[in-house]
């Protein structure tokens, strides 16, 4: 049993020493190592999920502005999805390299990989921020947002975009810490970020005390300010971690950029595929007669669904260092076994949560909105997508495992098949051509999510990831 707080190292850090973290991951009982890495990440993702739920609940209590605000938030998030693509790719490259180097006890290269990723994240935040701020309005219109929602969605998008660099730095530094086996520092930082965000949401959305009532713009400002504070907090933890020297001598090296990109570009493309398919899915919903209600229902449904898939993401994040460090240490069989144990633990948790989507969907929907035209659509969303939760969890975890091995190209192809070849054509066919409306779109989501998990399992079982060089 490992203590909740790790022992202090010579820097006065609350993070583990280099050998301690790797020893836990590469030796001992695998199920204990999985849980050791997973539970802080589960707590962190649940905290994030709670924020998403509370944020939607706040917006859902804005009276006549509730449905437009929820739809605007959903539209803004889809525009910003494209921005995240590059940094998520860098995050994957960072995770794979740091984990592999630490497993091989090559600490200098682990620090250098983290250093170059930090530089890339800063540049990426600046480069992607500018076009979104300048062209937010046409971007929002392009994805099929109803005209009455466009002004709110544009303002929401612009405000959040100004805080791009803090968000990108937080993503990359968190990825590096987790790959080093430090899953508690991101937990502490995440708790601070989300706690502050919820407080600011309450103050700025509703105008409590001296604060003005800003509605959805208040939600955007709350998110941005929290990200800025979060960046400072995670940098503080990182400086005191085993990778802290990466913050010194911040000099760019193109050879490292290329190395990170070779691993990260398929992951970036995978996330681009997902982001653009999400935008296209939003566009399909925008073609329905009840477009605003359908888009509001999707926004709420995704927030509630995060109760299930967030633990899957947590186990995925645990699988990355488990596989990466064990491969680096030359323990391929342990890497594979660790991934499967993480997968089945995740499936058990996800399935338990998904049951509630089947038995109390209306209760969950009413917690977010009182709009009688939106509630039935949310209920259908939860019931239909509950069926896909176990296989979706398999896909989450095994993709994280493959990323730890540096295998990012096949997951990208799987994402392409599931989202563009299956989800979108079926969504248009069911929702528009066959006139099933939002229910048809939900069915397409469920089918594609299940296929994603099945294909990921097939590749992890029989693929060539075990012999890849990074």
pLDDT per 10-residue tile (average), the chain, 470 residues: 33 47 75 84 76 78 80 85 78 91 90 93 90 92 85 92 93 91 88 90 89 89 92 93 88 90 89 86 92 90 84 88 91 93 93 93 88 92 94 93 92 95 96 95 96 95 86
Question: According to the model, what pLDDT value does residue 9 have?
Answer: 41
Tell me the helices (H) and strands (E) count for the chain, helix number first.
Answer: 17, 0
Q: State the Cα–Cα distance between residues 344 and 341, nearest whole angstrom.
A: 5
Question: According to the model, what pLDDT value does residue 445 have?
Answer: 95
pTM of the model: 0.79
**Is the CB of residue 125 less than 8 Å from the CB of residue 90?**
no
Q: Give the residue among 220, 230, 217 at the shortest CA–CA distance from 168.
A: 230
* DSSP letter (8 states) at residue 8: P
Query: Two tokens at 363?
Result: 């209760």
**Is the CB of residue 342 less than 8 Å from the CB of residue 38?**
yes
Residue 28: φ, ψ to 5°: 85, -170
* DSSP letter (8 states) at residue 27: S
Q: Which residues contact 372 (CB under 8 A, 6 or more apart)?
A: none
Query: Two tokens at 390?
Result: 């176990």
> Would you call 364 helix, strand, or coil by DSSP?
helix
Question: According to the model, what pLDDT value does residue 409 have?
Answer: 93
Question: According to the model, what pLDDT value does residue 21 have?
Answer: 61
Angle between helices 164-179 and 66-103 (to 10 degrees): 40
Question: According to the model, what pLDDT value does residue 394 have?
Answer: 95
**Is the CB of residue 52 less than 8 Å from the CB of residue 256?**
no
**Is the CB of residue 115 less than 8 Å from the CB of residue 250?**
yes
Delimit the domains of the chain by residue range. Answer: 29-462
Question: According to the model, what pLDDT value does residue 114 have?
Answer: 94
Helices (H), 245-374: 254-286, 291-328, 332-359, 361-366
Q: Give the residue among 411, 113, 463 at the shortest CA–CA distance from 261.
A: 113
> Would you call 369 helix, strand, or coil by DSSP?
coil
Question: According to the model, what pLDDT value does residue 415 have?
Answer: 94
Question: According to the model, what pLDDT value does residue 2 have?
Answer: 31
Q: Which residue has the tokens 């390299």?
A: 97
Question: According to the model, what pLDDT value does residue 20 have?
Answer: 62
Q: Taking the alpha carbons of 32, 35, 37, 40 in that order, is the dihedral positive or negative?
A: negative
Q: Give the residue among 96, 42, 452, 441 at the shortest CA–CA distance from 274.
A: 452
């Amino acid at each position: 049993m490992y203590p909740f707080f790790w022992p202090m190292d010579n820097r006065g850090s609350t993070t583990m020493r280099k050998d301690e973290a790797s020893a836990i991951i590469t030796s001992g009982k695998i199920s204990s190592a999985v849980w050791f890495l997973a539970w802080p990440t589960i707590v962190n993702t649940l905290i994030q999920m709670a924020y998403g739920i509370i944020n939607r609940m706040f917006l859902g209590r804005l009276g006549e502005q509730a449905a437009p605000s929820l739809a605007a938030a959903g539209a803004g998030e889809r525009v910003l999805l494209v921005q995240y693509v590059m940094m998520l790719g860098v995050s994957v490259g960072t995770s794979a390299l740091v984990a592999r180097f630490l497993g091989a006890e090559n600490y200098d290269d682990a620090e250098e990989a983290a250093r170059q990723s930090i530089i890339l994240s800063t540049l990426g935040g600046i480069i992607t921020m500018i076009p979104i701020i300048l062209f937010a309005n046409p971007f929002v219109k392009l994805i099929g947002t109803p005209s009455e929602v466009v002004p709110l969605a544009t303002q929401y998008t612009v405000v959040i975009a100004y805080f791009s660099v803090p968000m990108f730095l937080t993503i990359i530094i968190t990825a590096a810490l987790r790959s080093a086996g430090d899953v508690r520092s991101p937990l502490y930082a995440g708790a601070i970020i989300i706690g502050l965000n919820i407080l600011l949401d309450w103050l700025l959305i509703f105008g409590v005390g001296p604060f003005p009532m800003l509605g959805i713009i208040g939600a955007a400002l709350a998110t941005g300010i929290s990200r800025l504070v979060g960046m400072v907090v995670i940098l503080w933890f990182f400086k005191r971690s085993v990778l802290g020297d990466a913050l010194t001598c911040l000099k760019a090296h193109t050879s490292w950029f290329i190395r990170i990109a070779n691993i990260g570009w398929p992951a970036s493309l995978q996330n681009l595929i997902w982001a653009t398919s999400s935008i296209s899915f939003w566009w399909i919903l925008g073609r329905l007669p009840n477009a605003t209600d359908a888009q509001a229902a999707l926004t709420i449904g995704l927030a509630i669904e995060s109760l299930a898939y967030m633990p899957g993401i947590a186990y995925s994040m645990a699988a990355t260092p488990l596989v990466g460090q064990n491969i680096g240490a030359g323990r391929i069989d342990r890497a594979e076994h660790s991934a499967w144990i993480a997968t089945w633990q995740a499936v058990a948790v996800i399935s338990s949560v998904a049951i509630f989507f089947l038995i109390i969907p209306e209760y969950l929907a009413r917690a977010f909105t009182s709009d009688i035209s939106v509630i039935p659509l949310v209920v259908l969303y939860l019931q239909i997508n509950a069926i896909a939760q176990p296989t979706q969890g398999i896909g989450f975890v095994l993709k994280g495992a493959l990323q730890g091995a540096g295998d990012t190209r096949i997951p990208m192809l799987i994402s392409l098949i599931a989202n563009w070849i299956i989800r979108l054509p079926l969504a248009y066919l069911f929702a528009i051509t066959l006139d099933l409306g939002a229910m048809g779109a939900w069915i397409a989501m469920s089918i594609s999510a299940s296929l994603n998990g099945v294909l990921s399992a097939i590749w992890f079982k029989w693929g060539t990831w075990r012999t890849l060089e990074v």
